[in-house]
Amino acid sequence: MSGGRLFVIAAPSGAGKTSLVRELLAREPNLRVCVSHTTRKQRPNEVDGRDYHFVTAAAFESLVAADGFLEWAKVFDNYYGTSRGALAAAFGAGHDVILEIDWQGARQVRERTQDPVTDQPGCTGIFILPPSRTALEARLRGRGTDDDAVIARRLADAVDDMTHHAEFDFVVVNDDFGQAVADLQAILAGRGDALRRGRRDLAPLLADLLAD
């Protein structure tokens, strides 16, 4: 890996991560997103090669066997991975790169990019939280025609994902969209100290989000 800096951004589904990253990319000309591989079905609004590289399970497995992934994980019954090739392409021309992946992948990237001498990770981790449990439920429900069992599983998965927030360097709350984008820009610019994980003002929100 050469050139720019590596950012890893994770969130539970329903936190608005994809929209935030899209806006961030529009505002940051030197930032690129790394296009992941996945075995999940392509959605109608998605473009192969832009949103994901959509591949078969067999193709995914052969890339795993060839050590073609920096990280990969099973998320919601499908496989997702960051290929070394896609990462190298994104890093072209000295761009900063953002990986939009889950906490399992983020953990692998953190370990695998760690400097062997200083133990410093070679990436900056950012976790996005929704502004409340109520807002999260509404967003998960608002997505379409899924039945209650599907929504309940998504909510349980989201709560489970959020228990990993402390493995990230920064935590951004997507309450006001514009503010959340500004927060992400501040982190990219090295002005994100007020957004570090473990800050005290997050405690009530985390208690609400992680309640059983």
DSSP H or E stretch at residue 210: helix 203-210
Least gap, CB of 191 to ligand 5GP (angstroms):
25
Q: Which of 53, 55, 60, 81 binds ligand 5GP (CB under 6 A)?
A: 81
Nearest CA among 136, 135, 109 for reference residue 123: 109
Q: In the β-sheet with 124-129, what is the strand arrangement from edge to edge?
A: 31-33, 96-100, 6-10, 124-129, 170-173
The answer to whether residue 102 forms part of the interface with ligand 5GP (CB under 6 A) is: yes
Nearest CA among 121, 207, 205, 114 for reference residue 169: 121
In terms of C-beta density within 10 A (0-12 exposed, 13-18 middle, 19 or more buried), how is residue 49 classed? exposed
The answer to whether residue 73 forms part of the interface with ligand 5GP (CB under 6 A) is: yes
Q: Which is nearer to ligand 5GP, 24 or 73 (CB)?
A: 73
The answer to whether residue 124 forms part of the interface with ligand 5GP (CB under 6 A) is: no
The answer to whether residue 36 forms part of the interface with ligand 5GP (CB under 6 A) is: yes
Q: Which is nearer to ligand 5GP, 65 or 189 (CB)?
A: 65
Least gap, CB of 124 to ligand 5GP (angstroms):
16
> What is the spatial distance between Cα 95 and Cα 51, in angstroms, rounded to a whole number?
19
> What is the spatial distance between Cα 132 and Cα 204, in angstroms, rounded to a whole number?
10
The answer to whether residue 183 forms part of the interface with ligand 5GP (CB under 6 A) is: no
The answer to whether residue 39 forms part of the interface with ligand 5GP (CB under 6 A) is: no
Residues within window 3-32 making contact with ligand 5GP, judged by CB under 6 A = 13
